[in-house]
Structure 1
Amino acid sequence: MASVISARAAQIDKNKFRVRTAVQAVTLSFALGLGAGVVTLPSPAVAQAYSFSSVRIEGNRRVDASTILSYAGIARGQTVSGGELNDAYQRVLNSGLFERVEIVPQGSTLLIRVVEYPTINRISIEGNRRIKDEDLAAALQSQPRRVFSPSVAEADAQTLSEAYVTQGRVAARVSPKVIRRSDNRVDLVFEVFEGGVAEVERIGFSGNGKYTDRRLRRVLETKQAGLLRAVISKDTFIEDRVEFDKQLLRDFYSSRGYVDFRITGVNAELAQERDGYFLTFNVEEGQQFRVGNVSVSSDLAEVDTALFQRRVKMRSGKVYSPVLVENEIARLEKLAIQEGLNFVRVEPRISRNDRDLSLDVDLVLTRGERVFIERIDIEGNTTTLDRVVRRQFDVVEGDPFNPRAVREAAERIRALGFFATADVQAREGSSPQQVIVDVDVEEQPTGSLSFGGSYSTTDGIGAAVTFSERNFLGRGQFFSFGVNTASSSRSYSLRFAEPALLGRDLSLSFDLNYSETDNLNATFDTAKGLFQPALTFPLSEATSLQLRYSARYSDIRNVDPTDTDIGGIIKAEAAEGERFDSSVGYTLNFDTARFGLDDKTRYLLEFGQDFAGLGGDSTYVRTNVRAVAQTKVFSEEVTLRASLDAGALSYSGGESRVTDRFLVGPNQLRGFDYGGIGPREMGPDVDDPLGGEYFAVARFEAEFPIGLPDEYGISGGLFYDVGSVWGLSDATKAKVGAGNSIVSEEFDARHVVGFSIFWDSAIGPLRLNFSEPLKKRDFDDERRFNLTVSTQF
């Protein structure tokens, strides 16, 4: 009997050795310094069945024994094989709760010995300078006082690396390290190597023939690195930005009639030093198509297609653009609503004519689904009032649902500039015939407080403080206040504007300005004030009308009647003292940019008049005219611009003064100082610019690249200006001082040529003008150089 027991014990010892070989875990090591499990599979020749009457678990402190048993999946008295023991081992190890696991059969007892993963004591990030700790920590899944997981830590390291990649630092590396502490705790440290910015060294194009590389680079959001790379943030390589650039290229070509345009690929080659990329966009331009026949059709009996046809503005022969079609669809759908035709949709059907490279457009009016707007939900606007967002919609609850109208409202919400993001989506409402429009926005700062300083030879040292708020009190109103002081001048301005008076497309504004001059280089000082409320509203798609009231104050000060350096006209006008003028006026504005059909060509026409005499000290009519035309030629590389500014002042009660008449400055007629041309009172010691009751200035200019990389934002220009200031009333001329005379009172055109440097700088678009008058008078005040803020009309 004893020999049998001895033999049986020996057999058990052999089996125990085999199972231990099959399932016992050897020393584990993982990437973070804690280990990774390795299991030696048993040989098929030593298959053995086991049955355990008890299970003993050792090493667990936080994890309950029943939890471990549930992962192992071995019940008491269950017969299991070596392979099933190995599966149990894998299940316990893969639970992610243990650093090491051992499963050891000991007779009728199964021993499960575990080493738990430590608890994270604290998490720190080291080596980061470009991104703050709190911004990086917010992206981590690992948290203090939670169980440490190697896989989660590795994922966190990858997440932090990707945060740097989005900034163009593709060489950035993040390495997680652990520092063991007592009581089975560890400190988790992410060591960051930020690396340098991988800049875009060069952007090239392959397959483009209609537009040059330079022109296409201006379309892209990504820019090439250059000398100004320290201040240009868009020269870093970011994959998402490249995808956006591809869409920009498609839109650029599509809007110019290249309907077959394709991007066949983008090659991004990383430099050997991993500090720069070479981007090449491979494109196929195709042919440019123009608009063929444009027609309107419908199978709806209540639709008068002739009425809709008359409203179509797209004409045959024009370069085709999807924007043209979208605008026509929006126009016709609005007309359908005006005609009481609800649920009418306009579907464009495009027919291609390859022979003459034209696209026929048939605008088909069809019956859409009968779906109504149940409600409009607005979320995320913590400052902006709901009504500011809601008034961007042309529809309200209960109106027929029009997806196009909702998309247009979304664009208007984004165009407000009040929100960092604005997402507008439609979802099914309480029934299939109703939809709920969800507007989810994220507020962004809309106010600014700026401080500035200046110095000039005429005004001396100055300081400026300006506060502005584009979303005043969350009501969508504009408010600004500014103070500009110098040793020889002071000005104060306040402006308030309500863009949607009474919830309508009606703008109400108030302007209050006051300025004083104390110029030692002039023979007199002035004080001017203006209070001007105005209403502006649209008359058509491209035309608006402004109605205004103006209360003006003016005074000519510090004129010594005995001073021989001051002419008789200025002395007489100063002797009149303060003057108050009251007027009403209007400005009619036509601007093709409002409907944006062609971004290459733009026309602007303005005509305004002010009628004074409603109280006040004088009666007059002041007329101003402005006309501007702009187009782009030579593959849109060169911008041609022509403008005309003119004005007339006609008094029927009282007389004009130097504070009322037109004084042209260098921003209107380059090459001459403010008041540098026009009527003057001249004498032995007198040289007083008087201004004129009429002026006209025509400007012609071309703007073009000068060979510098586009990312510098520097281009050149040539200009030719011609203009004149003239006209004084007989009563004014009669005030001329003894021994003095009036010169340049008649129309006498001055001619100027010059070149400009345009610089899109970090402080704003600047323009440097270098002028050379071709025709002038000896007494004119010239200004050969002028630095201004470049503005677009």
Structure 2
Amino acid sequence: MNKYFKIGAASVDRTRTVLGSSILSGFVLLSGAYAVYPTFAAAQTYSFNSVTVQGNERIPTGTILSYAGIAKGAATDAGTLNEAYQRIVASGLFETVELTPNGGNLVIKVTEFPTINVVNFEGNKRIKDEVLTKLVKSTSRQVFSPAQAEADAALISEAYSAQGRLAARVTPRIIRRSDNRVDLVFEVFEGGVTEVERISFVGNTNYSDRRLRQVLQSKQAGLLRVLFKNDTFVADRVEFDKQVLKDFYQSRGYVDFRITGVNAELSQERDGYLVTFNVQEGQQFHLGKVTTTSQYEGVDSAVYNDALNIKPGQVYSPSLIENSIARIERLAIRNGLDFLRVEPRVTRNDRDMTLDIDFVLTRGPRIFVERIDIEGNTTTLDRVIRAEFNSVEGDPFNPREIREAAERIRALGFFTDAQVNAREGSSSDQVIVDVNVDETTTGSLSFGGTYSSTDGFGLAISFKENNFLGRGQAVAVTVSGASSDRVYSLRFAEPHFLGRDLKFDINGSYEETESDYASYDTKQGLISTGLTFPAGEKSTLNFNYAIKGTDISANTGSSGSKVGPLLQAESDLPVQYTSSLGYKYSYDTRVSGLNPNAGVLLEFSQDFAGVGGDMEYIRSMARAVAQKKVFNEEVTLRASLRGGAIQSIGSSSSMVTDRFLIGSNYMRGFSPNGVGPREYQAGSYNDALGGTAFAVAQFDMEFPLGLPEEYGISGGVFYDIGSSWGLDNSSSNVLYEDGPIRQVIGLSVFWDTPIGPLRFNWSKALQKETFDREQSFDLSIRTDF
């Protein structure tokens, strides 16, 4: 049976006791010497002709004598002996030390600390052995040190505290082995997670506790507390929350906002923390006069004033100022002014709660970037990090550009931490930029289930790697299947193609559908590739090419009815290949973050089929979405308008897979293929054909339901209106080709769950046609625009 010997506080006390006994015995011997040799006692001096060391095995005798520092034949007193003793103990090499004068000989007897045979961990489940091994500094074949073992135990406790396990205890113990060796064992009691039971605020009048809790990274423990990690109490997370809370208020014009204190108290049951933020909001400020002044000789301030995109009356936000500075500096570079600097000078007007902003143009110092040093990236290639810098070696140094580069590096998601600092280089006009990063995992393999109210349950397997081979490339493989739909897809993306701000992507997919709600089955294979690049501060432009093969086969459906002539003609065709070139323009005001309470998204795309292949058409799509938060950001209003048209060219006719099948994908309240032109004959067939054009307007309002926000549940209402119309080929049995209007109202419940944000819709059609297919309930993954 192994016998454990406890170190810890008891071991420290024991060590001190041993050392104290050594000192006492030394002085007892000295006292004896005084009694025997009264002459020496009176003089309190000694002279040793020899010094003998006993008990050392690994440590050379010469090393111990050097620590003692007692010369042969030299006069030595009791104080000198004590100092020698203290020096030997302070070396940290010996468990016990004794100094014994024996006439003209001084005997130094030592017991060496054992060497560590192995380091083990017991009782740990939440943190694996390999993680703890990297954390502690005590290692095998190292001389055992009680102080280092205690320090390692403290490091392990801190690791558990970072996970919210504040009750964790770590006790280092040793098991004695032969040959003066020990096994060092850290016994871990992990304890339970200390949760955040309640987060509250004192002093907030403009924003409710509910709204402010949405900003924080810390969350209150809720119904599914077992699945959440952010509801554990972590002191560092609270510090981060203080910063994001400050950013939240300042981005909304509250320049005087302060956090006067944060109180974290254990609940009465001592199983959770009650966290209270004490805040002072202050007043909201708007922009007053916005001017530009030039102190740079030869620079006309009016030219740069026209480049500003802020106006008096807007709510003040630091991002507005940063964005304006960036616009001015970019314009200066285009005008050949590399060292123009912008200094915003703010004049406060308390009477009308405005801030006058004067952008002063000055000539900055002629400082250049000497080099960019990158450390800590064990997987990610240097060029991936360098791509986030707009500056390279030899460029003029711009502090703002360096700060923005640091933010872009952190936003990659490849690192747990990224620090970017500048220091003086080889001369006063040179700067070295140091980048220090800590790598994190960037890949994931997930297994899960899928559910659709139309396709039922299915299995989904996906692999994603956002930093493939450390090159910053994204790779994703997905396989999903339900009773009526199977999809296999592969995606690859290079965000900095050819070393430029140019995204290259290539996608491949294969899909099979065997749906009961359609009278045909499909098999489609698709390969597409594209290039995306910025077209402006808030806009992007994408050019793409795609080749698609489509096979349509008629089925009898669940009712056993046959297929109509129009769909039968399409299913009789062999596999049809479509080769198309296209583009897509997007304008998104959210990318700048200038207005946190509102956003606009505009998209327009066109695909030109006929670059080879069997199909010839022009397919156009447009989308406009606007969102705004009202009532102190408690309620979200959203309006969207979407439309499209496909125009066949020459003798070619569109297929049902290319036309617009309006249903739950575009208009709520109807099943897929539920709205649009239909080929109908009583008792024979009722086929959804899809239209060559469609238009849908959707209006949503989301609001709290009064439930605790830690449940992640909110409500909403919606109203949709739209239709689909038009066909290339028609017949007398086609209904709704002229596109009658449909209208739907409904209620929604939003639930933020650990598996993703879910949306439950209950709807009722206010206006519909006889053979439209309604869908009163729908469950889907929530998507914001």
Q: TM-score, normalised by structure 1?
A: 0.88
Report Cα offsets for 1:239-265 as digits up to 9, x if no partner.
Answer: 111111111111111111111111111
Decide whether the 8 Å contact of 1:71 with 1:92 is kept in 2. Answer: yes
Q: Identify the residue that residue 414 of structure 1 maps to in structure 2.
A: 410
Q: CA RMSD of the aligned region, Å? A: 3.0
Bigger mean CA deviation after superposition, 582-591 or 333-342:
582-591
Is the partner of 1:336 in helix, strand or coil?
helix
Is the partner of 1:311 in helix, strand or coil?
coil
User: 1 CA distance for matches of 2:149 and 2:471?
Assistant: 47
Decide whether the 8 Å contact of 1:232 with 1:711 is kept in 2. Answer: no
Q: Identify the residue that residue 692 of structure 1 maps to in structure 2.
A: 691
User: 1 CA distance for matches of 2:472 and 2:763?
Assistant: 43
Shift of 1:543: 1.9
Decide whether the 8 Å contact of 1:174 with 1:191 is kept in 2. Answer: yes
Equivalent residue for 1:282, pick from 254, 257, 278:
278
Is the partner of 2:227 in helix, strand or coil?
coil
- Residues 1:766 and 2:731 aligned together: no
Is the partner of 1:230 in helix, strand or coil?
helix
Q: Give the letter for the 1:664 counterpart.
A: I
Bigger mean CA deviation after superposition, 695-704 or 479-488:
479-488
User: 2 CA distance for matches of 1:458 and 1:205?
Assistant: 44
- Residues 1:757 and 2:755 aligned together: no
User: 1 CA distance for matches of 2:606 and 2:114?
Assistant: 82
Q: Identify the residue that residue 723 of structure 2 maps to in structure 1.
A: 724
Is the partner of 1:746 in helix, strand or coil?
coil
Matches within 5 A, 1:307-318: 307-318=303-314
- Residues 1:31 and 2:23 aligned together: no
Q: Identify the residue that residue 641 of structure 1 maps to in structure 2.
A: 638
Shift of 1:505: 2.6
Decide whether the 8 Å contact of 2:414 with 2:467 is kept in 1. Answer: yes
Decide whether the 8 Å contact of 1:671 with 1:772 is kept in 2. Answer: yes
User: 2 CA distance for matches of 1:364 and 1:383?
Assistant: 43
- Residues 1:660 and 2:652 aligned together: no
Q: Identify the residue that residue 393 of structure 1 maps to in structure 2.
A: 389
Is the partner of 1:629 in helix, strand or coil?
strand
Bigger mean CA deviation after superposition, 516-525 or 432-441:
516-525
- Residues 1:271 and 2:267 aligned together: yes
- Residues 1:61 and 2:56 aligned together: yes
Decide whether the 8 Å contact of 1:29 with 1:35 is kept in 2. Answer: no
Q: Identify the residue that residue 244 of structure 2 maps to in structure 1.
A: 248
Shift of 1:32: 6.6
Equivalent residue for 2:124, pick from 118, 123, 128:
128
Bigger mean CA deviation after superposition, 515-524 or 702-711:
515-524
Q: Identify the residue that residue 424 of structure 2 maps to in structure 1.
A: 428
User: 1 CA distance for matches of 2:470 and 2:129?
Assistant: 33
- Residues 1:300 and 2:300 aligned together: no
Q: Give the letter for the 1:764 counterpart.
A: G
Q: Identify the residue that residue 238 of structure 1 maps to in structure 2.
A: 234
Q: Identify the residue that residue 151 of structure 1 maps to in structure 2.
A: 147
Q: Identify the residue that residue 3 of structure 2 maps to in structure 1.
A: none
User: 1 CA distance for matches of 2:546 and 2:184?
Assistant: 69
- Residues 1:599 and 2:599 aligned together: no
User: 1 CA distance for matches of 2:373 and 2:10?
Assistant: 54
Is the partner of 2:225 in helix, strand or coil?
coil
Bigger mean CA deviation after superposition, 416-425 or 365-374:
416-425
- Residues 1:97 and 2:93 aligned together: yes
- Residues 1:498 and 2:494 aligned together: yes
Decide whether the 8 Å contact of 1:296 with 1:309 is kept in 2. Answer: yes
Shift of 1:301: 1.3
- Residues 1:323 and 2:319 aligned together: yes
Going from structure 1 to structure 2, the CA distance change for 1:121 and 1:398 (only over 3 Å counts) comes to closer
Q: Give the letter for the 1:691 counterpart.
A: G
Q: Identify the residue that residue 538 of structure 1 maps to in structure 2.
A: 534
Q: Identify the residue that residue 705 of structure 1 maps to in structure 2.
A: 704
User: 2 CA distance for matches of 1:248 and 1:482?
Assistant: 35
Decide whether the 8 Å contact of 1:559 with 1:574 is kept in 2. Answer: no
Decide whether the 8 Å contact of 2:554 with 2:568 is kept in 1. Answer: no
Going from structure 1 to structure 2, the CA distance change for 1:48 and 1:278 (only over 3 Å counts) comes to farther
Report Cα offsets for 1:88-143 as digits up to 9, x if no partner.
Answer: 44344344333334444445544444444344444433222222233223333334
Q: Identify the residue that residue 36 of structure 2 maps to in structure 1.
A: none
Shift of 1:580: 4.1
Bigger mean CA deviation after superposition, 438-447 or 457-466:
457-466
Decide whether the 8 Å contact of 2:452 with 2:780 is kept in 1. Answer: no
Shift of 1:341: 0.7
Q: Give the letter for the 1:539 counterpart.
A: A
Report Cα offsets for 1:683-728 as digits up to 9, x if no partner.
Answer: 2212122222221111111222223333333222221111212233
Unaligned residue ranges in structure 1 (runs of 5+): 1-27
Decide whether the 8 Å contact of 1:104 with 1:112 is kept in 2. Answer: yes
Decide whether the 8 Å contact of 1:592 with 1:604 is kept in 2. Answer: yes
User: 2 CA distance for matches of 1:687 and 1:648?
Assistant: 23
Q: Give the letter for the 2:338 counterpart.
A: N
Report Cα offsets for 1:552-585 as digits up to 9, x if no partner.
Answer: 444432379xx97332332344455554444443
Q: Identify the residue that residue 677 of structure 2 maps to in structure 1.
A: 679
Equivalent residue for 2:44, pick from 45, 49, 52:
49
Is the partner of 1:792 in helix, strand or coil?
coil
Going from structure 1 to structure 2, the CA distance change for 1:139 and 1:625 (only over 3 Å counts) comes to closer
Bigger mean CA deviation after superposition, 382-391 or 287-296:
382-391
Is the partner of 1:211 in helix, strand or coil?
coil
Is the partner of 2:148 in helix, strand or coil?
helix
Equivalent residue for 1:216, pick from 212, 222, 225:
212
Report Cα offsets for 1:733-776 as digits up to 9, x if no partner.
Answer: 3x34xxxx333233322221222222222222221211122222
Going from structure 1 to structure 2, the CA distance change for 1:147 and 1:467 (only over 3 Å counts) comes to closer
Q: Identify the residue that residue 625 of structure 2 maps to in structure 1.
A: 628
Unaligned residue ranges in structure 2 (runs of 5+): 1-8, 32-40
User: 1 CA distance for matches of 2:752 and 2:101?
Assistant: 78
Decide whether the 8 Å contact of 2:518 with 2:688 is kept in 1. Answer: no
Q: What is the aligned-residue identity percentage?
A: 57
Is the partner of 2:366 in helix, strand or coil?
coil
Q: Give the letter for the 2:749 counterpart.
A: I
Going from structure 1 to structure 2, the CA distance change for 1:558 and 1:687 (only over 3 Å counts) comes to closer
Q: Give the letter for the 1:767 counterpart.
A: R
Equivalent residue for 1:438, pick from 434, 439, 454:
434
Q: Identify the residue that residue 715 of structure 1 maps to in structure 2.
A: 714
Bigger mean CA deviation after superposition, 746-755 or 261-270:
746-755
Q: TM-score, normalised by structure 2?
A: 0.88
Q: Identify the residue that residue 743 of structure 1 maps to in structure 2.
A: 735
Decide whether the 8 Å contact of 1:32 with 1:176 is kept in 2. Answer: no
User: 1 CA distance for matches of 2:117 and 2:217?
Assistant: 44
Decide whether the 8 Å contact of 2:554 with 2:563 is kept in 1. Answer: no
Q: Give the letter for the 2:353 counterpart.
A: L
Shift of 1:652: 4.7
Matches within 5 A, 1:199-210: 199-210=195-206
Q: Identify the residue that residue 669 of structure 1 maps to in structure 2.
A: 667
User: 1 CA distance for matches of 2:329 and 2:151?
Assistant: 51
User: 2 CA distance for matches of 1:535 and 1:402?
Assistant: 30
Q: Give the letter for the 2:390 counterpart.
A: D
User: 2 CA distance for matches of 1:275 and 1:157?
Assistant: 23
User: 2 CA distance for matches of 1:469 and 1:176?
Assistant: 39
Count of aligned positions: 755
Q: Give the letter for the 2:647 counterpart.
A: S
Going from structure 1 to structure 2, the CA distance change for 1:480 and 1:151 (only over 3 Å counts) comes to closer
Bigger mean CA deviation after superposition, 760-769 or 106-115:
106-115
User: 2 CA distance for matches of 1:458 and 1:334?
Assistant: 51
User: 1 CA distance for matches of 2:769 and 2:435?
Assistant: 63
Equivalent residue for 1:191, pick from 187, 191, 197:
187
Q: Identify the residue that residue 786 of structure 1 maps to in structure 2.
A: 778
